[in-house]
Amino acid sequence: MERLSQIASQATAASAAPAKPAHPLDPLSTAEIKCLTNTVKSYYAGRSISFNTVTLREPTKKAYLQWKEDGGKMPPRLASFVILEKGVPGVKEGLVDIGTQSVIETRSLEQVQPILTVEDLCSTEEILRTHPDVIAQCVLSGVPANEMHNVYCDPWTIGYDERWGAGKRLQQALMYYRSDDDDSQYSHPLDFCPIVDTEEKKVIFIDIPLRRRKVSKHKHANFNPQDMIAKYGSMRTDATPINVTQPEGVSFKMDGNVMSWSNFNFHIGFNYREGIVLSDITYNDHGNVRPIFHRMSLSEMIVPYGCPDYPHQRKHALDIGEYGAGLMTNPLSLGCDCKGVIHYLDAHFADRSGEPITIKHAVCIHEEDDGLLFKHSDFRDNFATSIVTRATKLVISQIFTAANYEYCIYWIFMQDGSMKLDIKLTGILNTYVLGDDEDAGPWGTRVYPNVNAHNHQHMFSLRIHPRIDGDGNSAAMSDAKPSPFPLGSPENMYGNGFYAEKTTFKTVNESKTNYESSTGRSWDMFNPNKKNAYSGKPPSYKLVSSQTPPLLAKEGSIVSKRAPWASNTVTVIPYEEGRLYPSGDHVPQWSGDGVRGMREWTADGDANIDNTDILFFHTFGITHFPAPEDFPLMPAEPISVLLRPRHFFLENPALDVVPSHAMTTKQAKLATNLEIKSKTDSTSRLAFENTSSAGCCTRFTK
């Protein structure tokens, strides 16, 4: 697992505290990381410690708002750290005040294991290649002993294995073979699974299946251009370039990490775990700055596999808590990951020794054309009376690689006040070797000769801290229901009545709800203390999300216990500091037993969530039954979650976006071509004519 990272300059520790950032939610700078790790090293002087994670401890909502809205002081810069001490089981964690360069809190935890960093994963392959028992297994699988350099492993978190529990820091190594450096290993899985102790750098066990399967003798299923040319003679030649240009530059402004775009204003943060974090999202409604969301992020994920055969049941990566959407984030490049005029943000972490690591261009910020925003034409004059307004969207994105899979995360803002979270799943299927005479079903699919891709789900937990029109928020579900009155009754004589049934959640227990397609269920976050002057309804943001499969692992299973957030589409809880990670703070090797994360936060089922400070958790995702089209590299599969303003504005808030074309009835009658030309129109032209066209009204002739 290689990645482009650069070690920041290793300046010696400054004795003065690093400069404070402009904004209290700004991620730790490399200078702050250096200061933090030096502070921790001197605190543990003489002991052999290594760093696991360091990150900003964000100020509480109260402290933040005192700074932001009440002219209060900048809250102290606090950063949390997780470290390991050689030979000492468990983890140590604590808090450093960067301003005073002092450790202000520490805690030792046993029977928990911290996140696996990319560094932890990278060390595993070499350990395996030289281990005699692994070599012996390779030989049994059909890989000659002199080909160990062609043996690879994807080190996975072990999930939870009852034989070792959480006492040792473990990885399970999913084994593969490449005949050549450039081969894709996933068409050549090996049938055994070594267990590696991450800290001791030792193979402690090898899981060997009862039925042995030899490594495939088929050609590797590769996907690079040279492979396609070798196979088909050429690449596809029919696509002409599409250029994205913004001749006048971008329409967003950034002040440090604070974004202003089309009436939206918010802070863009980034951390090792959640990756992108959006905070303090407000909307300037003609001079009235209205808060919408205090904070929003992906708080956890789970990718449970559906093959019950040992040891495949262990495959259920909680990628955010076990590897980190930040730690695994890709450095992005101009013109391929995002196209157009791009602004990037870098991400900073610490390596095991405490030195800062920088991922360049971790966050991509750009705008895209988004088709039509709205349109109307009048049929009376042959559609000459017409208004057409095109949409621009703002996209904040990152891409992270979880071993074989890629997750492309797009946080999208739209000019009508709505927001979207789009995720594209791509990369490579996790695969296992399939015997020549073996059927992959029902738990998987034969996607290539000797390749079994197991059924699995990709489930995400979106954590939203709403602050719609200020403090005191509630949540409700909305179901489309037919009138309760029977056909022929005075209240529903013709039987056509239907309405939206809104159920406001009073308690945590009431909020635990699931998607219901028969009623087109959606959810609202709203401010019950305010009213829309027209509709009389409280200003709200509606969550529209229908890619919400149920978790298919049984209740009581390890998978279901370790993802206590995944068994409901929506769960609403009271806000409290520290309620960030719904599978707990230290996820690897958690058995799923005991009270933590979402299980802890929902323990009081009676807790009030109506007209208070609430956290709204939304589980969404897909169930993936692999098919040959997903292999050897999967075309991106989209998932989309929409948040729309409802009863928040008095009219379509985007009416003041300059239209591409607008002609009133009077103008059409005069037949003066008074259309407002859009800025992009001059680049549009007819496909099969050389002359550029007059625009969108040429069909109207008097």
Residues making contact with Cu ion (CB under 5 A): 624
Q: For residue 241, give the 3-state DSSP assignment.
A: coil
Is 283 an active-site residue? Answer: no
β-bridge pairing 522-526 and 540-544 = antiparallel
For the record, the structure tokens of 657 come out as 């976006």
The item of ligand NAG, Cu ion, none sharing an interface with residue 241, based on CB under 5 to 8 Å by kind, is ligand NAG
- Least separation in angstroms between CB 553 and Cu ion: 15
- Least separation in angstroms between CB 669 and ligand NAG: 39
Q: What gap in Å lies between CA 674 and CA 690, rounded to an integer?
A: 25
Q: Spell 413-441 as b/e; 16+ CB within 10 A means b.
A: bbbbbbbbbbbbbebbbbbbbbeeeeebe
Cβ atoms of residues 445 and 452 within 8 Å: yes
Q: Which is nearer to ligand NAG, 241 or 371 (CB)?
A: 241
Out of 243, 496, 517, 518, point to the residue binding ligand NAG (CB under 6 A): 243
- Residue 128 per-residue DSSP state: H
Q: Which is nearer to ligand NAG, 428 or 508 (CB)?
A: 508
- Least separation in angstroms between CB 335 and ligand NAG: 7
- Alpha-carbon separation of residue 296 from 58, 215, 334, 421, 658 (angstroms): 13, 45, 26, 10, 30
Q: Which is nearer to ligand NAG, 509 or 591 (CB)?
A: 509
For the record, the structure tokens of 372 come out as 């039509």
Out of 87, 241, 249, 635, point to the residue binding ligand NAG (CB under 6 A): 241
Cβ atoms of residues 660 and 682 within 8 Å: no
- Least separation in angstroms between CB 243 and ligand NAG: 4
Residue in the block written with tokens 């001197």: 42
Residue 701's contacts (CB-CB under 8 Å, 6 or more residues apart) are none
Q: Which of 353, 258, 297 is nearest to 54 (CA)?
A: 353
Q: Which is nearer to Cu ion, 82 or 303 (CB)?
A: 303
The item of Cu ion, ligand NAG, none sharing an interface with residue 377, based on CB under 5 to 8 Å by kind, is none
In the sheet with 170-177, reading across from the earlier edge strand, the strands are 151-157, 170-177, 193-197, 202-207
- Least separation in angstroms between CB 90 and ligand NAG: 32
- Least separation in angstroms between CB 509 and ligand NAG: 4
Cβ atoms of residues 326 and 270 within 8 Å: yes
240 near ligand NAG, rule: CB under 6 A: no
Q: Which is nearer to Cu ion, 195 or 634 (CB)?
A: 634
Q: Which of 235, 227, 331, 285 is nearest to 632 (CA)?
A: 227
For the record, the structure tokens of 633 come out as 């590299």
Q: Which is nearer to Cu ion, 188 or 624 (CB)?
A: 624
Q: Which of 365, 295, 300 is nearest to 614 (CA)?
A: 295
Q: For residue 138, give the 3-state DSSP assignment.
A: helix
The site that binds ligand NAG (CB under 6 A) totals a number of residues, namely: 5
- Least separation in angstroms between CB 311 and Cu ion: 20
- Least separation in angstroms between CB 549 and Cu ion: 12
Cβ atoms of residues 87 and 58 within 8 Å: no
The item of Cu ion, ligand NAG, none sharing an interface with residue 509, based on CB under 5 to 8 Å by kind, is ligand NAG
User: Which one is catalytic: 120, 191, 319, 337?
Assistant: 319
Q: For residue 452, give the 3-state DSSP assignment.
A: strand
Out of 167, 256, 482, 605, point to the residue binding ligand NAG (CB under 6 A): 605
For the record, the structure tokens of 20 come out as 């404070």
Is 319 an active-site residue? Answer: yes
Q: What gap in Å lies between CA 304 and CA 312, rounded to an integer?
A: 10
Q: Which is nearer to ligand NAG, 604 or 637 (CB)?
A: 604
Q: Which is nearer to ligand NAG, 389 or 568 (CB)?
A: 568
Of the CA atoms within 13 Å of residue 525, those in its CB half-sphere come to 33
The item of Cu ion, ligand NAG, none sharing an interface with residue 624, based on CB under 5 to 8 Å by kind, is Cu ion
- Name residues contacting ligand NAG, limited to 150-189 (CB under 6 A): none
- Least separation in angstroms between CB 430 and ligand NAG: 34
Residue 427's contacts (CB-CB under 8 Å, 6 or more residues apart) are 401, 402, 404, 405, 406, 633, 634
- Read out DSSP for 107-122? EEESS--PPPPHHHHH
- Least separation in angstroms between CB 600 and ligand NAG: 14
Q: Which of 226, 224, 208, 174 is nearest to 452 (CA)?
A: 174
Q: Which of 564, 579, 670 is nearest to 616 (CA)?
A: 579
Q: Which is nearer to ligand NAG, 144 or 605 (CB)?
A: 605
Q: What gap in Å lies between CA 30 and CA 271, rounded to an integer?
A: 13
Q: What gap in Å lies between CA 53 and CA 481, rounded to an integer?
A: 49
For the record, the structure tokens of 277 come out as 């974090």
Cβ atoms of residues 204 and 168 within 8 Å: yes
Q: Which is nearer to Cu ion, 154 or 161 (CB)?
A: 154
Q: Which of 126, 129, 208, 119 is nearest to 169 (CA)?
A: 119
- Least separation in angstroms between CB 301 and Cu ion: 12
Out of 606, 629, 651, 689, point to the residue binding ligand NAG (CB under 6 A): 606
The item of Cu ion, ligand NAG, none sharing an interface with residue 470, based on CB under 5 to 8 Å by kind, is none
- Least separation in angstroms between CB 479 and ligand NAG: 20
Q: Which is nearer to Cu ion, 486 or 638 (CB)?
A: 638
Burial degree of 242 (CB within 10 A; 0-12, 13-18, 19+): exposed
Q: What gap in Å lies between CA 258 and CA 282, rounded to an integer?
A: 11
Q: Which is nearer to ligand NAG, 181 or 555 (CB)?
A: 555
Residue nearest to ligand NAG (CB): 605
Q: x/- site string to ligand NAG, residues 494 to 523, per CB under 6 A?
A: ---------------x--------------
Q: What gap in Å lies between CA 589 and CA 59, rounded to an integer?
A: 29
Q: x/- site string to ligand NAG, residues 555 to 594, per CB under 6 A?
A: ----------------------------------------
Q: What gap in Å lies between CA 482 and CA 408, rounded to an integer?
A: 39
Q: What is the dihedral of CA 424, 428, 431, 434, to 10 degrees?
A: 120
User: Which one is catalytic: 186, 405, 407, 575?
Assistant: 405
Which residues are designated catalytic? 319, 405
Residues that bind ligand NAG (CB under 6 A): 241, 243, 509, 605-606
